[in-house]
Copies of this chain bind each other. A is one copy, B any other.
Amino acid sequence: MTENEKKLKKLFSILNEVDAYERCLGKMQFDLECCAPEEGMEQAGEDMATIGKRVHALTHTKTYEKLVCELYENSEGLSEAQKKGIEHLYEDWKKEKNISAKLSYEMDCAFNKAYADWLKAKNTNDFSLYRDSFASAIKYNRMLVEVRDEQKKTVYDTLLDDYEKGGGIEQLNEFFGALKKRIVPLMKKIAKEGKPIRSDFMSRPVPIPQQEAFSRYLLELEGLRKTALVLMTTEHPFTDHYGPTDVRVTTHYYENNFISNIFSTLHEGGHALFMQNEPKELYDNHAADNMTSAMHECISRFYENIVGRSEEFIHFVMPKLKELSGGTFDDITERELYEAVNIAKPGLIRMEADELSYCIHIMVRYELEKAFVNGEITVDEIPALWNAKYKEYLGLDVPDDSRGCLQDVHWTGMFGYFPSYALGNAYGAQILNTMKKDFDVFGAIKEGRLNEIADWLTEKVFSIASLKTPDEWIKAITGESLNVDYYLNYLEEKFTKLYGLRGNK
């Protein structure tokens, strides 16, 4: 055994223990969101902080530091996966090395409390119940950054870079600027000239057991392994996993809005597919799961929109949908359903947004995050500013905070995550463009051969995501850096046709 092999073995034995605690923490979080009763949440939060202490202890020893730094500085004999895994560990270590056990525990408690308080505030539509925890979530996010040896231009720049390496305010200002420039006129044109689209049938009730059966059908269609999959319900749908053998998709059923569940399931199923299909070699070398959140959202939004909201997909699933809903939609044509699920009409809720206005929802959050993380506005100003931006960009009056700034879970601590959705959309359209060169994507969708898409993604996209920076990754897949034009062209083409607009602009 070489010196480096010995070091790696020693490091991996620590990481095996860390991973066990992390999986356990993940399941506790899952439990909190899907199972735990109201009264049990506070205790659960404290217990998670206790487990978190242990993770902190294991990754803040001299031994750990030495192993990670030495293997980073001299990676002789390591495989590519091992090298990249060590690189990530080294970067994480640098970010976290100055976080004391006390601060780490305090933060865990604060974030867990923030989640519980947010839930209460959202459910009772009372921003004041979340206000203090919101402020504390921001404070701890700032501290997380400020204790580091190295700093970006602003705190929010650092958070953005954490989520999407290479990203920062400058890049995102440009990115959102480009989106705004072409999406807003298109939205206006639709409002003015778009043909009317029928949507009355969208609120016909579909019993929840039937919706659940349809969800399971969709997940299988996406290509997920059932034996490594769980489907459950929660307030705010998410997907998480504890290794590739245990992937959890959650959704939310509304009897009078079956569409909500369909696209939520397709979205979460996209995440799940990514989680089930990273190469085993990466897991074995503690190098898996290092993709960015934008890479992940790229896949989930790909399945939700590019696949799910396509005419070909609606064609394929229509018989199953008619069958499971027991005749409820027998009078509706494929075309009618296709148009209805693509209605471009600004709404209050991001999760329910159409493909066109979606990025505008993200832009509102981006602009607010940037301001409150960097201390330019206070927590108390958020609700009113939120409402003003919804008025300005989407022309909507926000009736309450539950449908306003309290609607998403992300601001219980994940500041800098939201842009990932918009970036993911853009990556997705660019990847589609490349995929179409390899095979007839929509032909496959029309016949339900979604496995061809999953196989392509597994080979070209999932296999390298944890090994590359976002820019390296998209270049390796498509041959060029992120180019937002693919996404904007896709949107313009789709909605011009859908709404029968004149011209292509």
Contact = CB atoms under 8 A, between A and B. Distances in A.
Interface string A84-122: 000000000000000000000000000000000000000
Contacts of A21: 50-51
A418 B225 CA distance: 38
Interface stretch (A29-37, A338-346, A393-401): A29-37
B46 A20 contact: yes
Contacts of A63: none
Best-surrounded residue of A24, A38, A243 (most CB of chain B within 10 A): A24
A367 interface: no
Contact of A43 (B23, B37, B44): B23
Nearest to A228: B39
Contacts of A243: 40, 43
A232 interface: yes
A390 to B, nearest CB: 34
A24 B208 CA distance: 32
A166 to B, nearest CB: 33
A190 interface: no
A17 interface: yes
Greatest chain B CB density within 10 A among A21, A42, A246 is at A246
A268 to B, nearest CB: 15
A245 interface: yes
Contacts of A403: none
Contact of A40 (B24, B36, B40, B242): B242
A226 B38 CA distance: 9
A271 to B, nearest CB: 15
Interface in A336-379: none
Nearest to A229: B37
A209 interface: yes
A234 to B, nearest CB: 12
Interface residues of A, number: 39
A227 interface: yes
B37 A245 contact: yes
A10 to B, nearest CB: 17
Tell me the number of copies of this protein: 2
A230 interface: yes
A225 B39 CA distance: 10
A161 interface: no
A251 to B, nearest CB: 15
A55 to B, nearest CB: 12
A36 B209 contact: no
Given A23-B43, A40-B243, A50-B20, A35 B230 contact: yes
Contacts of A35: 30, 34-35, 230, 232, 248
Nearest to A225: B39
A20 B51 contact: yes
Interface string A377-399: 00000000000000000000000
Nearest to A243: B43
Contact of A230 (B17, B36, B46, B209): B36
Contacts of A165: none
Interface in A200-227: 208-209, 225-227
A118 to B, nearest CB: 18
Interface in A1-52: 17, 20-21, 23-24, 27-28, 30-31, 34-40, 42-44, 46-47, 50-51
The 8 A-B residue pairs with the shortest CB-CB distance, nearest first, are A40-B246, A39-B245, A20-B50, A39-B228, A20-B47, A38-B227, A39-B227, A40-B245
7 contacts: A24-B47, A27-B27, A27-B44, A37-B230, A40-B245, A42-B245, A43-B245
Interface of A: 17, 20-21, 23-24, 27-28, 30-31, 34-40, 42-44, 46-47, 50-51, 54, 208-209, 225-230, 232, 242-243, 245-248
Given A37-B227, A38-B228, 18 more contacts: A20-B46, A20-B47, A20-B50, A23-B47, A24-B47, A27-B31, A35-B230, A35-B232, A37-B228, A37-B245, A37-B246, A39-B246, A40-B228, A40-B245, A42-B245, A43-B246, A44-B242, A209-B209
